[in-house]
Chains A and B, each alone.
Chain A
Amino acid sequence: MGGSFDWGVIWTFRAALVDGMLTSLKLFAISLAGGIALGTLLAMARLASWKVLAVPAAAFVNLIRAIPFIMAIFWFYFLTPMIVNKLTGHQGEAVGPFASAVVAFIMVESAYYSEIVRAGIQSIPRGQPWAAYALGMNYWQSMGHVVLPQAFRNMLPVMLTQAVILFQDTSLVYVVGLKDFLGAASKGGQISGRIVELYLFVAVVFFLVCFLASWGVKRLNARLAVAR
């Protein structure tokens, strides 16, 4: 069917596509920040000597990692409004689709990030927190000033690689009908019947962004390796 492409359709739907990309980026940024924050807490809980913290944290992480991302999205998409309504006594739609999607993504990403942070914390010699305690620091001070800063530096390349994967995974919100970048292209395709051009455009944009980002991570990795 060569020659019958109509790339003008991308220009026609430029506003919707930009909107979709902004939604994708917003979802990406919030889940990245939330995932790393919650993931760090989960990793600390897993490594705690207190079983009441360690066991549930490990169970949560292993459970999320055992099921498909889409299954987890469905779970939190279903649970979030229910739990919020129960807690606030509110009836009807208290939490919008975007907020539910954000919760789902933060939960799933926190499970993946907690494994990265755990490995990062475990890469720090035991003597370091001991030295911090000996200097009179408490648990939070030793974590915040001694262990985590070094751990984050060690795991930066892995965390950035996971961020590229997360950016790709944001396209999965398509399954709950949220209009992200892919969703916008899909919608435009339905209206215009030009699904081929729009999907190819989405693929090219994702490829360029992720390829350049991965290349940047690789370069950063090489520089860090020299510095060490």
Chain B
Amino acid sequence: MDWKVFLEQAPSGGMTYLGWLMSGLFWTLSVSACAWVIASVVGCVVGVARTTPVGWARALGTAYVELFRNIPLLVQMFLWYFVMPEVLPKAWGDWLKQDLPNVLTLPFAAQFSLFEFSAAVLCLGLYTASRVAEQVRSGIQSLPRGQTGAGLALGLTLPQVYRHVTLPMAFRIIIPPMTSEFLTIFKNSSTALTIGVLELTAQSRQISEYTFKTFTAFSAATLLYIAITLTVTFLMRALERRTAVPGYIAQGSGH
């Protein structure tokens, strides 16, 4: 393997191939982090909606999960990027395609615009929200029924029961599956390359195309993916230990 290739000057961006790789890593992490914010907020709302006694909220939550879970991520990516600007009113679509890219120039030699970035973030965020919602729902449903009943009997309103009783417990229980959901979003962010976001996978392919050092370029990206996965897993284990619910089997075992 010829690692020295990364010190060579790349044809664009005024940086070396190592710079391209780092730019890819930066955008992989940025897309994943922004999408994660959407996924956790929307996912919690949808997940909670599916556990409420309110019929229409449950139905809406179920519809959301079924819709986003049964269409391939790649197809959803194309719907946000190619289809959305066309089905919106013409002025809005034009704004997305022409004005949004000029709102700000993306840093780190991005070679793509804010429109591609936003479409990727929105797509990954809303898709992963359907998976997060299922984790939140099963977390809430794993709690003994008596907890909600006791809360209500003490005179708390339903929102207060969620705020002070159900959710604090559920969130602590679902940390391990949420870690794997974050790792899923991180890996799925490579789908954004199909709409032109030059993230880590795309950069490694671009480097291989320019230098013909495919093995080296792919190995570098693979090692970076593994390094991030291990780091996230390690950090979340520490969080898990700190937030473990006393009396549960998972406590202290590091799961």
A positions within 8 Å CB-CB of B: 1-2, 63, 66-71, 74-75, 78, 168-169, 171-172, 174-175, 182, 186, 189, 195-196, 199-200, 202-203, 206-207, 210-211, 214
Contact = CB atoms under 8 A, between A and B. Distances in A.
A75 B205 CA distance: 10
A98 B69 CA distance: 27
Interface string B58-80: 00000000110111111110110
A2 B187 CA distance: 36
A71 B226 CA distance: 12
Interface residues of B, number: 39
Contact of B72 (A1, A2, A68, A168): A168
Given A71-B201, A196-B82, A203-B79, A168 B73 contact: yes
B83 A196 contact: yes
B183 to A, nearest CB: 8
A211 B70 contact: yes
A202 B75 CA distance: 8
B187 A69 contact: yes
Contacts, number: 102
Contacts of A70: 190-191, 193, 201
14 contacts: A67-B222, A67-B225, A67-B226, A70-B193, A71-B218, A172-B72, A174-B74, A174-B194, A182-B78, A196-B86, A199-B79, A203-B79, A207-B70, A207-B71
Interface of B: 66-67, 69-76, 78-79, 82-83, 86-90, 93, 187-191, 193-194, 201, 204-205, 208, 214-215, 218, 221-222, 225-226, 229
Given A68-B187, A71-B201, A1 B87 contact: yes
A168 B188 CA distance: 13
Q: Is the interface of A mostly helix, strand, loop or mixed?
A: helix
A68 B201 contact: yes
Contact of A199 (B83, B187, B189, B214): B83
A68 B190 contact: yes
Contacts of A211: 66, 70
B187 A195 contact: no
Contact of A1 (B79, B86, B221): B86
A169 B72 contact: yes
Contacts of A68: 187-191, 201, 225
Given A68-B188, A71-B218, A211-B66, 20 more contacts: A70-B190, A70-B191, A70-B193, A70-B201, A71-B190, A71-B221, A78-B218, A168-B72, A171-B74, A171-B75, A172-B74, A175-B193, A182-B72, A195-B83, A199-B78, A199-B79, A199-B83, A202-B75, A207-B70, A211-B70
Given A182-B75, A196-B82, A66 B229 contact: yes
A66 B183 CA distance: 8
Nearest to A67: B225
A66 B225 contact: yes
Contacts of A182: 72, 74-75, 78
B236 to A, nearest CB: 15
Contacts of A174: 74, 194
B176 to A, nearest CB: 15
Contact of A203 (B69, B75, B89, B204): B75
